[in-house]
């Protein structure tokens, strides 16, 4: 009976993630770091949440925006490129879906690329050309914004090979390392969208138990994202080096400072939110720090 199915669905939150592919493992790992756990079902398309009433739906990434728009799932982890493409393609036709959080993995960019031998003089050069892409809505919007009239050739895959096959003159495709473009003798010339995995959800707030569950998940996500790249930095320095050292830590919380034996040497400890690279450590050392130690942070409750 429908009357039992509807309340059951509304008391639990359903989060869609990619079943397999680039975003599948990091999405699961991130949700697990938020304290979520699931009972794995044999078909592995639906995983019942244990502990918290938050279930997982394992699907193709392209289906996630539509599943949220249909109400078949409540939130989803998907590339911004997929979310924006479907938002532009279906503008006004489906309920609005928002990017709730950028998740810091799956980074790539949607870029225009042309044959290596083209002397690139600017976007106007694309006028009258054929551009192959799997992102026709984003490409058409970009062409319109730049007042360029070009033919959009829609391909579902193997976009990079289109110029060699004579199907197109240029491509508009996702790029991360750029190795695939280079292997196809193409060069990126213009970025259309900077992308990464995002948590997507309806623009409107849930009006039932899912609202509190979504708030809880976002709170935990914020905690996990905040400390993911954070490190505890420990070092010593003389009192007069402080004025040189502190400007080198713009992404750090104000340090805890203790005088060692009441003398001029200080022990400092600071939570750094950016990457603490070797290069930064060397800069700190040159500015007077010594005994530098970088420690990982397991968990933080602000
Ligand atoms: O089966 P399903 O439909 O779920 O998966 P899919 O094959 O559509 O997606 P998948 O797993 O390939 O990618 C999922 C998401 O990962 C994308 O929507 C992006 O948000 C993100 N992502 C990050 C990338 C890349 N980096 C990437 N490099 N998606 C695709 N690529 C492609 C790129 O187009 C190129 O062809 O990987 C190739 C290698 O890239 P280079 O530049 O490192 O050579
Ligand atoms: Zn896909």
The three-point CA angle 254-257-259 to 5° equals 165
pLDDT for 8 beyond 70: no
Q: Is the CB of 18 under 6 A from ligand 1?
A: yes
Other beta carbons within 10 angstroms of residue 23's beta carbon come to: 22
Residue 164 makes CB contacts below 8 A (sequence gap 6+) with 184, 185
pTM score, two decimals?
0.85
Q: What integer is the mean pLDDT of 250-254?
A: 91
Other beta carbons within 10 angstroms of residue 294's beta carbon come to: 15
Band of pLDDT at residue 302, cut at 50, 70 and 90: low
pLDDT for 83 beyond 90: yes
**CA-atom Rg of the chain in angstroms:** 24
In three-state secondary structure terms, 13 is strand
Q: Is the CB of 169 under 6 A from ligand 1?
A: no
Q: Is the CB of 59 under 6 A from ligand 1?
A: no
Contact (Cβ atoms closer than 8 angstroms) between residue 228 and residue 104: yes
In three-state secondary structure terms, 162 is coil
Band of pLDDT at residue 56, cut at 50, 70 and 90: very high
pLDDT for 300 beyond 80: no
Residue where the block lists tokens 């193997």: 158
Residue-wise pLDDT for 94-134, tens only, equals 778 999 999 999 999 999 999 999 999 999 999 999 999 99
Which residue among 16, 19, 22, 156 has the greatest number of ligand 1 atoms within 8 angstroms of its CB, and so is best to mutate? 22
* Residue 168 CA to ligand 2 centre (angstroms): 22
Band of pLDDT at residue 2, cut at 50, 70 and 90: very low
Closest CA to ligand 1's atom 31: 174
Q: Is the CB of 62 under 6 A from ligand 1?
A: yes
Band of pLDDT at residue 259, cut at 50, 70 and 90: very high
Q: Is the CB of 103 under 6 A from ligand 1?
A: no
């Amino acid at each position: 009976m429908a009357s039992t199915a509807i309340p059951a669905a509304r008391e639990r939150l359903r989060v869609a993630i990619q079943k397999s592919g680039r975003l599948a493992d990091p999405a699961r790992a991130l949700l697990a770091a938020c304290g979520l756990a699931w009972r794995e079902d044999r078909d592995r398309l639906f995983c019942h949440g244990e502990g918290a009433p938050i279930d997982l739906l394992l699907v193709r990434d392209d289906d996630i925006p539509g599943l949220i728009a249909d109400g078949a799932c409540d939130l989803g982890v998907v590339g911004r490129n997929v979310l924006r493409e479907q938002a532009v393609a279906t503008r006004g036709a489906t309920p609005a879906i928002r990017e709730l959080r950028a998740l810091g993995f799956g980074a790539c960019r949607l870029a225009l690329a042309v044959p290596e031998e083209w002397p690139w003089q600017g976007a106007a050069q694309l006028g009258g050309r054929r551009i192959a892409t799997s992102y026709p809505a984003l490409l058409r919007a970009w062409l319109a914004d730049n007042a360029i009239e070009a033919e959009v050739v829609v391909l579902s895959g193997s976009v990079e090979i289109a110029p060699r096959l004579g199907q197109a003159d240029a491509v508009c495709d996702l790029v991360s390392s750029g190795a695939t473009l280079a292997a196809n003798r193409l060069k990126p010339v213009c970025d259309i969208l900077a992308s990464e995995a995002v948590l997507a959800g309806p623009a409107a707030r849930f009006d039932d138990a899912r609202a509190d569950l979504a708030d809880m998940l976002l709170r935990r996500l914020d905690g996990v994202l905040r400390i993911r790249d954070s490190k505890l930095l420990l070092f010593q320095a003389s009192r007069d080096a402080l004025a040189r050292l502190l400007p080198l830590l713009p992404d750090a919380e104000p340090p805890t400072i203790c005088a060692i034996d009441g003398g001029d040497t200080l022990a400092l400890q600071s939570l750094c939110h950016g990457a603490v690279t070797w290069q930064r450590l060397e800069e700190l050392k040159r500015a007077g720090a010594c005994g530098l130690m970088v420690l990982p942070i397991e968990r933080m409750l602000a």
